[in-house]
Structure formats: C-alpha cells, structure tokens
Amino acid sequence: MVKSTDFSEEVTKHSVHTLVFRSLKRTHDMFVSDQGNLPDEDREAEELLKGVKSKAVYGQVKQKVDQVRAMPQHQKANLAAAEEAAANGAVAVYKAPGSIGGGGVGMDKSNPLAGLSAGQGQQLAIRKAPSMPKPAWHAPWKLFRVISGHMGWVRCCTVEPGNEWFATGAADRVIKIWDLASGKLKLSLTGHVSVVRGLAVSARQPYLFSCGEDRQVKCWDLEYNKVIRHYHGHLSAVYDLALHPTLDVLVSCGRDSSARVWDMRSKVNIHTLSGHTNTVSSVICQSTDPQIITASNDSTIRLWDLAAGKSMATLTNHKKSVRGLVAHPKLLMFASGGPDNIKQWKCPEGKFIQNLSGHNAIVNCLAANADGVLVSGADNGTMYFWDWKTGYNFQRFQAAVQPGSLDSEAGIFQMKFDQSGSRLITCEADKTIKIYKEDDSASEESNPINWKPEILKRRRYRSEEHTSELQSP
C-alpha cells in the first residue's frame, strides 16, 4: 500500500507586492556581482579574428613587405630610387630578383615590362593615384540683351538653322519671331487658344512647328505665315516637341503620359509611345539609335527605337521628376535634369556617366554647345554653367528680374544656344527673353579655374589568389 500524503496544510499567503519584491531580490543577488564586469576575454578567438582580418585587409601588403625585407641592401636602394622617381611623376618599374636582366630600375618607354619573366619574381609598378582630369577653361557668361514684348510667361524658344532669327512662345498664346542680331520683333503669329509650350524649326523646309496646352500641334508655313497642318491625337496638353534631324518626322509629348510620332506631310500618327505613368515633359530626337529619348514626371527616362516604336531601355536613376533633356551637339551623349541633380548618359544603351551636383533647385531646362558648356536653368532663376567633360561648375548666378516684376517671377522655363553656340537665349517668368554671351575681356589670368583635384574612388576588388587564400581553411 502506498502511503498517501496530506496536502491539507495551509500555505502562508503573501501579497503580490511581497512576492514581486522577493523575486527581484533573488534576481539582484544572482547577477549583481557580474554587472560591472566585462566577460572573460577569449584569447583564442581574438587571435583568430586578428589573423583573419590582417590576412583579408593587409595580405598583399604583408607579402610585399616580407619580399622587401628579404632583399639584399643594393636592391633596397634601387627600390627607394624607383619610389623617388614615381613621386616626381615618372613611372618606375622594379625588377624583382631572379628576373631576366638583373635587378634595378628600368625606364624603357617602348616596353617597360620587357625582360620580366612571368613566373619569376613580381613586378612592382609605382604610379600616381588617378585623379579627376583638370577641366577646360571657359570664359564667363554675362547678360547681353533683354527683350520685352510678351504679355505672359515666356515658355519656349527655338533658333532657325540659318541663325538669323529665333522664335518664342508664351502664355499670351502668341508666337513671336525676333531678329537675332538686333533683338527687334519681326513677326507675331496667332492661332493657339492656350499657352504655347513647344517650338521647332525644320532644317529642310520653311516650316515652324508649335504645340501648346490647347492639345494642338500646328505646322506653320513661314512663306505665307499661316497654319497649313494640324496634328490631332493628344488627349491633353502638349508640353514639348522635337524634329528628327534626317527624317520628315515630328515627335510630340505631353500630359497624357505618351509621346506621339507624326509623319510631317501626311499628318499620320505613326507611333504612340506609351509606357510612362505620368506627364512626359521633354523629348529629343537624334539620327542614331536610340532615336527618341523622353523624360517624364514619373522619374524615368525612356530610350525608344523609332522603327519599331518600342522602348529600348528605361533609366531609373532619378529620384524625382525629370523636366529637362539636352543632347550634346557632337558626342553621342545626353544630359537630364530634375530637382535632385543633373545626370549625364551615354548612348546607345543609356550608360550612366556622372552626376552634376550642386544646383539645389528645380531644374527646368538644359542647354549645351559644341565647346563643352552645359547650362542648367531653374525655377528660382538660378543659372549654373558646367564643363561637360569633368562636371566642374565654373559659373553660377541669379538672373535679375525685370523692374516692376515680383521676385517670385525669377524662373527660367527654357534655354537654347544659337547655331554658333556663342549666344544663349533664355525664356523667363518675368515675361522677358534674355540673351547671354561670353565675356570677351576675360582670360585665364583674370578668371582662373578654382579647381582642386580629387582622388578617384577606386572599386574594391579581390584578386583570384587572394580570394582563394581567404577560402582556404
């Protein structure tokens, strides 16, 4: 028989406060002695960590240091001479012991590595760290002429191929043609019922093309000064247009998130380039692939194949809306601008080249000439001048508003260089057209380049030998 246990004895009852206090006291007594102390150091783990880290970071350096320490004294002297030659701008090649031709420093310009065997020794080439190339000097630009005549914001401009006159379109629904040399008004064209947003002049025919927020795309015959063709199809405002340099093709884009390709003569809508999810703000055409490039407020740039009417690539590097596009007149490159920064790209695949940071405003438009000058104009009236090759910002200023205008009307909507690239035309919110030109009196001595070279950030990589060393136990 199993003896039964009596559990009927009363258990002493304590308050919750007492129980919690006792639990905290037991925890305190258990851990209080270790609170202020660090855990015991694991020597083996520390040595292992240091060994792995030194091998990973300094493996190649330690190997070369060991080689130098094992050299005879005269070879160390030759290595010091090589380092001194490299510091003076020369490229010095050290021939390791065992190489054909003996040790020492060789300066064979035709083949500096001649005489070195592949299996014997290790060549040590000492070069200067690569740095950003020095930008080309550009003369500063200054205000040359201010033209008044429009009754609303001047939104667009274009220069005719003969470089004798230019046309502007504004919020007063009028297209005005101006003499480029004198700045005098030659002609006014009326026909749009809303803001004129885009202009282009054909290089082969006496045609002027215009588009506006009235959803209209018009073709003007400049011999008769009247509209001869309408291109119907856009569902909303048309913001920009461009002419193909070699084909009789017109491309327009707008708020309906599409770009449309038109046959100039038959008015047929050849392609509707759809894919953007927001307003297509700018379009450019070129003769080589990709033939059409569009920028949109959906923060993307698309490259289009004109023959197929399909997208070749979508560039998503911009974080905000892209408002301005410009193609380089000579190089197969283009630049894009938005509120975040300006980016340069290389065709045909749309390879990213570099960022042009510093223009901290909403960049509305870009312009570039053959001399390598890139200009960006912003919503607050600031203009930045860049060296195209290096991205160096050599000039910046605030465009002055017309007397009587508000400071808030200091906005630049579009800018174009003339055909020679010596004059810059800007369309601004103070209802004026401003023409800028280079300062002829400036020189490199009076306006030096304030440029400090920066060492290029080299990509981190590991050699195959080094990787195998890390992977080996």
Query: What average pLDDT score do residues 232-255 get?
Result: 95
Residues 245/287, Cβ–Cβ less than 8 Å: yes
> Quick count: other Cβ atoms within 10 Å of Cβ 120?
12
Is residue 390 exposed (0-12), middle (13-18) or buried (19+ Cβ within 10 Å)? middle
| pLDDT over 90, % of the chain | 58
pLDDT at 422 over 90: yes
Both tokens of residue 208?
């002027």
* Residues β-bridged to residue 92: 126
What is the per-residue pLDDT across 281-309, written as a single tens digit (0 to 9) for each? 999 999 988 999 999 999 999 999 999 99
Can you tell me whether residue 367 is helix, strand or coil?
A: strand
| pLDDT over 70, % of the chain | 81
pLDDT at 241 over 90: yes
pLDDT at position 270: 94
* Strand pairing category for 301-305 and 310-315: antiparallel
What is the per-residue pLDDT across 76-111, written as a single tens digit (0 to 9) for each? 777 777 776 655 554 444 444 444 444 444 444 444
pLDDT at 365 over 50: yes
Length, in residues, of the chain: 473
pLDDT at position 103: 42
pLDDT at 426 over 90: yes
pLDDT at 1 over 70: no
Q: Which CB contacts under 8 angstroms, 24+ apart, belong to 352-361?
A: 352/315, 352/317, 354/391, 355/391, 356/386, 356/391, 356/393, 358/384, 358/393, 359/384, 359/393, 359/396
What is the per-residue pLDDT across 383-408, written as a single tens digit (0 to 9) for each? 999 999 999 999 998 988 888 777 77
Residues 201/159, Cβ–Cβ less than 8 Å: yes
Cα separation, 124 vs 93, in Å, equals 6
Residues 229/252, Cβ–Cβ less than 8 Å: no
pLDDT at position 415: 95
What is the per-residue pLDDT across 130-172, written as a single tens digit (0 to 9) for each? 556 788 899 999 999 999 999 999 999 999 999 999 999 999 9
Higher pLDDT: 119 or 282? It is 282
pLDDT at position 104: 44
pTM reported for the whole predicted model: 0.69
Confidence band (pLDDT; 50, 70, 90) for 455? low
DSSP 7-76: --SPPPP--HHHHHHHHHHHHHHHHGGGTTSPPPP-HHHHHHHHHHHHHHHHHHHHHHHHHHHTS-HHHH
pLDDT at position 454: 60
pLDDT at position 5: 52
Both tokens of residue 465?
């030998």
pLDDT at position 118: 43
Closest listed residue to residue 286, CA positions, set 321, 322, 320, 333: 333
What is the per-residue pLDDT across 18-77, written as a single tens digit (0 to 9) for each? 888 888 888 877 766 665 666 677 888 888 888 887 777 777 777 777 887 888 877 777
Cα separation, 102 vs 120, in Å, equals 12
> Quick count: other Cβ atoms within 10 Å of Cβ 398?
12
pLDDT at 128 over 70: no
Higher pLDDT: 400 or 116? It is 400
pLDDT at position 22: 86
Confidence band (pLDDT; 50, 70, 90) for 466? very low
